[in-house]
A and B are shown apart, each in its own frame.
Chain A
């Protein structure tokens, strides 16, 4: 049965996907602005954050009005509440991308401390997690979503590795401390992005199965 409500749900999903695409772009550009030492690009990333915020607000408003007007239940209700929460997670990720861009601008003013190898690896992995989480959302694929939850470990491990390495730099040369700390921040931001991607994946599991797996160790 073809209903207006179904169209509106479809619109909501598409808005999530567009927001996701924008966030992925922000992340990619932020990392690029660091690795290629392109501060102009970094400034663009910072300027574009408000667009992502606007999308978050729009999704919230749409969701609220769908709830008020249609009294959704079961799967429809889970879709709408999940959409609201996913948009929050995406907005956070965009903020983190903005933070990375800010650190990039600062780092670009000084000579590069070391070749960026692990950071891009982390970034690629985190981006992959975001993309897969959104794919799982679109395709209602709980298996994929669960896999994403498992991928978090890789990013966590890399964070520790990067920190240990930067620690040696800081011990050797005190002048490198500022740069090292900033790079540490970037790795932290990427780790948190991966956490947010995990949250999105957990929400997708709830959407598909009706089970809340947030805050459980599995």
Chain B
């Protein structure tokens, strides 16, 4: 049984639509804080849509509609007067394809703090260094902070995106298939990074790579056709899942 204080998110009867397409069906569960939760499931099952509900990135999709509650620390993220920008400062996101701004490495990281009002060079320098250290990228780029971010390799770019997300000091980091565009070595480094940062951040990762979910996460959730079918400790899900559909998906018999 999970103690309520250690929940980061509580999802209550979440339903969502893209226009008339019912993409998320009646989901209720909790996400633990300071742990890595992996969401797996076949393509089109709604896991990416779900993770974007957690930081209101779906607000930008025309025709998107949602009912139910998404509580973060007891506050409903979708309450009428909630400021989405504030939410996204606390709940950061890293995307599938690394998307650094076409600017220097320094400017990429400094952008977040800048738009929050931090102007002094000294402060920004400190934030940039700290973020790059946290993302295990500092040693590799400390001598070329003012070079283009696009000159980095794919794996480095993705770590840069993680550092950029961490520069605004969020509490949660959401990762939407962060390694699917990367080679195995870069993937391994990012996985190691995730295990490091879970001490300080709640991490939710969507992945279609089951072995990655098995390697990295503490809790795994299996989505199918918009509904969360099974959810529990990763060890148990991968040795003895309760639901037949989970077993079939995990052993590769479909999806």
Contact = CB atoms under 8 A, between A and B. Distances in A.
Interface string A1-41: 10101000000000000000000000000000000000000
Given A210-B239, A210-B240, A75 B254 contact: no
A72 B251 contact: yes
**Interface bin, chain B:** 10 to 19
**Interface bin, chain A:** 10 to 19
A1 B254 contact: yes
B68 interface: no
A75 B251 CA distance: 8
Interface in A61-105: 71-78
Main secondary structure of the interface of B (DSSP, over half): helix
A74 B253 contact: no
A168 B238 CA distance: 57
B254 A74 contact: no
A134 to B, nearest CB: 23
B211 A74 contact: no
Interface in B227-255: 237-241, 246-247, 250-254
B169 to A, nearest CB: 37
Nearest to A72: B251
Interface of A: 1, 3, 5, 71-78, 210
23 contacts: A1-B253, A3-B252, A3-B253, A5-B252, A71-B211, A73-B210, A73-B214, A73-B238, A73-B239, A73-B250, A73-B251, A74-B238, A74-B239, A74-B250, A74-B251, A75-B247, A75-B251, A76-B251, A77-B238, A77-B239, A78-B239, A78-B240, A210-B240
Given A74-B239, A75-B247, 6 more contacts: A3-B252, A73-B238, A73-B239, A73-B250, A78-B239, A210-B240
